[in-house]
Amino acid sequence: MAFVNEISPEEREGLSNLYSKISSERSRRILHVNSEVRKSLRDFFIGEGFYELSPVILGPVTDPLNHPVSDASINYYGHKYGLTQSMIFHKQIALLSYEKLFIFSPNVRLEPLDRQATGRHLAEFSQLDVEVRDFSKDDAISLAERMYCFVIEQVRKSCAEDLEFFGRALSVPHIPFRRYDYSLAKERYGEEFEASLSENHKDPFFIENVALLDREFYDREMEERPGILSDMDMVYPEGFGEALSGGEREYQLERIIDRIKKKGQTFEQFKYYLEVARMGLPRSAGFGIGIERLVRYVLGLRNIEDATLFPKVIGKFSL
Ligand code: ASP
Ligand code: MG
């Protein structure tokens, strides 16, 4: 068959490795845990009175992110639409409809090649996005803590054999989790504070109040600490690194415009979002947590590629 020759040796080897991987007991167990993690998350949020929103896969505006990624846009009937990098703007706008929302959202982020070695980046991943009207940062942290403990409790019950197979013992941490102030942590532990704190913890913790220019424009600046945002990351222990990011959001047009300027970004890129902000955005807070990272942590997997059946590995052939 002539077309078979069009596959390069690397691609054929990639497919063959994938074939063996998908057929293995190890993969089946990871898939089970992935499925149970999703189920427990959904159960948690439905139990808390949230509605589930359908994901948006492409649109004329998406999360600019705080680091450079390659362009992932398509020609949408003559207009440039981007693949979703996160649903931050859509979830803010969706709160006009209902006050508590979650979405299992496929995100595409064409990360730089050097991120392949981190073990926790994929070019496509699933983000559970959560947003609540009139929430504060503290409300969002408390929700994330309860969510995390619920998932660990559920998975310990429903995936006991899988955890044993991977030699993983998980405990449910005490609430509240430890919190570190971003600027103080940086001062005390240096530029790599997140990684070193992650190495030295046994339970997840938060880093809060990120410096304005170290984050996207949409997290809300504190009135009482100008230049500091009312936001946070949750970080896994044992060196697994960032779990989730979130915070309170800017919702007033003038403040959004000021923040876009401070980041040196163009208004053109956000014109549709700005137009909606002119009509009025709800005040809110929320967060986004990566599902593959959560599965990776739950099972103690070295590489995030193993947390899903069809990983889009940065820079590599993927099915
Ligand atoms: N926008 C964040 C991210 O995708 C998540 C959030 O703030 O809700 O990293
Ligand atoms: Mg983040």
How many domains would you assign to the chain?
Answer: 1
CA 219 to ligand 1: nearest atom: 7
pLDDT attached to residue 96: 98
Distance CA 60, CA 171 (A): 43
Measured in angstroms, how far is the CA atom of residue 290 from the centroid of ligand 2?
A: 9
User: Which pLDDT does position 2 carry in this prediction?
Assistant: 60
Which tens digits make up the pLDDT trace of 131-173? Answer: 999 999 999 999 999 999 999 999 999 999 999 999 999 999 9
What would the pLDDT profile of 232-278 be if each residue is shown by its tens digit?
A: 999 999 999 999 999 999 999 999 999 999 999 999 999 999 999 99
Give me the pLDDT at residue 109, please.
98
User: Of 88, 95, 103, which is best to mutate to test ligand 1, by the most ligand atoms within 8 angstroms of its C-beta?
Assistant: 88
Please give the residue range of the domain that contains residue 252. Answer: 9-307
**pLDDT reported for residue 208:** 98
Q: Which of 299, 302, 317, 301 is nearest to 36 (CA)?
A: 299
Whether residue 293 is predicted with pLDDT greater than 80 in this model: the reply is yes
86 ligand 1 Cβ < 6 A = yes
Cis amide bond preceding 176, omega within 30: yes
Picking from 204, 66, 64, 224, the residue whose alpha carbon sits closest to that of residue 146 is 204
270 located within any domain: yes
User: To test the ligand 1 pocket, which listed residue (86, 91, 124) has its Cβ within 8 A of the most ligand atoms?
Assistant: 86
Give the residue whose CA is nearest to atom 4 of ligand 1: 86
| Ranges of H-type helices in 159-289 | 160-165, 182-189, 193-199, 253-262, 271-279
Whether 314 is covered by a domain: the verdict is no
**Which letter does DSSP use for residue 298 in this model?**
H
Give the pLDDT of residue 3.
Answer: 64
CA of 158 to the centre of ligand 2 (A): 29
Decide if pLDDT at 230 tops 90. Answer: yes
Q: Are 23 and 30 within 8 A, CB to CB?
A: no
Q: Do 73 and 53 meet the contact criterion of CB atoms below 8 Å apart? A: no
SS3 (DSSP) at 83: strand
Ligand nearest to the CA of 137: 1
Does 66 score more than 70 pLDDT? Answer: yes
Tell how far the Cα of 288 is from the centroid of ligand 1, in angstroms.
Answer: 5
Describe the strand order of the beta sheet including 284-290 as a list of residue ranges: 51-52, 100-108, 124-133, 284-290, 241-248, 231-236, 205-208, 178-181
> What pLDDT is attached to residue 5?
73
CATH of the domain at 188: 3.30.930.10
> How high is the mean pLDDT of the chain?
97
Q: What pLDDT digit, counting tens, does each position of 119-131 carry?
A: 999 999 999 999 9
88 Cα nearest atom in ligand 1: 1
Is the residue at 3 inside a domain? no
Does position 4 have pLDDT exceeding 80, yes or no? no
| Helical axes 253-262 vs 271-279, angle rounded to 10° | 150
In a domain, 1, yes or no: no
Residue type, 111: E
